[in-house]
Amino acid sequence: MDLFVEKYRPSTVNDCILSKELSSTFSEMVKEGTPQNLLFCGPAGTGKTSVAKAICSDLDAESIVINCSEDGNIDTLRTKIRSFASTVSLNGNKKVVILDEFDYSNANSIQPALRGAIEEFANNCRFIITCNYKNRIIAPIHSRCTNIEFTIPSKEKPILAKKFLDRLKFILDNEGIKYEEEVLAKLILRHFPDFRRVINEIQRYSVSGTIDVGILSDYDKIRIQDLIDSMKNKNFTDARKWIVSNLDNSPPDLFRKIYDSLSDTMSKTSVPDAILIIADYQYKSAFVADQEINFVACIVELMMRCEFK
C-alpha cells in the first residue's frame, strides 16, 4: 500500500496548503522561472519538503532529495551531491538539490563544505534546504540562501484548517474509507499545523474501515509505543526523531507518558531505576535552555541503563 503522504503529496505550489504570504512568495518564484538557493525553516509537517518538490515540478527542474537525518555526512557531499550538481541537466534547466532535515547534518563537516559547493555549482545547480531548527544551521549557509519561515498567522489558522479538512475528506473519499467529519476536525485541531502527522494517523487507523472517535483515544498509546520500540532496539536516530516531532507537547506530559508505560515495557528490576532517571530529567526540564537536549539525554540514559521486555 502506498503511503498517503506520498500518494497525495501536492505536485504544484498552487496545490500546497500555505498562508497567503507564503503562497504569494512561492508563486512569484515560479513565475520568475529560475530556482533560488532557499532555506526553509519551521515545525514538522507544515509542507517544507512538499513545497521544495513542487517548485522543482513547476519549474521542470531535475532534482535529487537527500534525507540528512540518514545521509547527512561529508561523503554524501563528495559523492551524491557533487556528482549530481556537476553535470548539466538534460532539459537545459538548472538542477536542484533538496537537502531535507538539514539540521540533522554534521555542523563540523558537511555544513561548512556546503558553503563552497553552493558557490562552485552556482551556474548549474541550486540548493533548497529544509530544517525544523534554523539555529542548528551555520551562519554562512543562512547568508547564501533566501530564508523562509513556515509560519501561519493566527487569523489564517481557521482558513487553513478548513482547507486541510477538505483535503483529508478528498483522500478518504478517494480511498473509499468512511469517516466522521467531526472526528477529522478534532484530529486536525489536536496536531495543527502538523498535517503530515494527521495524514499518517488516518492511514494507520483506516485499516478498521472507518475513521471514528477511536482514533482520538488510541493515538497517544501508539505514539509512545513508537518511542519505546526505538529505545528497546537502541535506535537513537528514530528515538530522536520522535522527540523532535513531539516537542509541541509539554515536557511534564511527555515524561508522564513514559512513566505510565514502565510496568508494561520494562523488566521489574529496571522500573525503580527508570523512575529515578525520569524524575531527575523532569526536574531539570524546568530550567534547561534546550528541552530537546534534556529529553534526548533522558532517553539515552533509559536506553543504556534499563532492560526492556
- 123 and 26, same structural domain? yes
Which among 69, 226, 41 has a CA at the least distance from the CA of 142?
41
pLDDT at 12: 96
- 186 and 75, same structural domain? no
- pLDDT tens digit string along 75-128? 888 888 999 998 888 878 889 999 999 988 888 889 999 999 999 999 999 999
Q: Rounded mean pLDDT of 37-63?
A: 94
Last residue of a domain, one of 132, 149, 166: 149
Q: What percent of the chain has pLDDT over 90?
A: 61
Q: How far apart are CA 160 and CA 163, in angstroms?
A: 5
pLDDT at 251: 80
pLDDT of 219 higher than 60: no
Domain of 181, in residue numbers: 154-212
pLDDT of 146 higher than 90: yes
CATH number, domain of 75, equals 3.40.50.300
Q: Classify residue 221: in a domain, yes or no.
A: no
- 145 and 11, same structural domain? yes
Banded pLDDT at 231 (limits 50, 70, 90)? very high
Q: Domain total for the chain?
A: 3
The region that residue 209 occupies, defined by phi over 0 for left and psi between -120 and 50 for alpha, beta otherwise, is left
Last residue of a domain, one of 185, 212, 239: 212
Q: How far apart are CA 10 and CA 298, in angstroms?
A: 38
* Least reliable range by pLDDT among 107-116, 123-132, 240-249, 260-269: 240-249
Q: Classify residue 171: in a domain, yes or no.
A: yes
- 137 and 57, same structural domain? yes
- 205 and 263, same structural domain? no
Q: How far apart are CA 61 and CA 230, in angstroms?
A: 37
- pLDDT tens digit string along 273-294? 999 999 999 988 877 778 889 9
CATH number, domain of 192, equals 1.10.8.60
Q: Rounded mean pLDDT of 259-269?
A: 90
- 169 and 138, same structural domain? no
Last residue of a domain, one of 165, 188, 212: 212
- 280 and 201, same structural domain? no
Q: Is the peptide bond before 43 cis (omega within 30 degrees of 0)?
A: no
Q: Classify residue 99: in a domain, yes or no.
A: yes
Q: Classify residue 223: in a domain, yes or no.
A: no
pLDDT of 203 higher than 80: yes
CATH number, domain of 290, equals 1.20.272
- 126 and 93, same structural domain? yes
Q: Rounded mean pLDDT of 68-76?
A: 81
| Mean of the per-residue pLDDT values of the chain | 90
Q: Which amino acid is at 168?
A: L
Other beta carbons within 10 Å of 53: 21
Q: How far apart are CA 74 and CA 115, in angstroms?
A: 12
Banded pLDDT at 221 (limits 50, 70, 90)? low
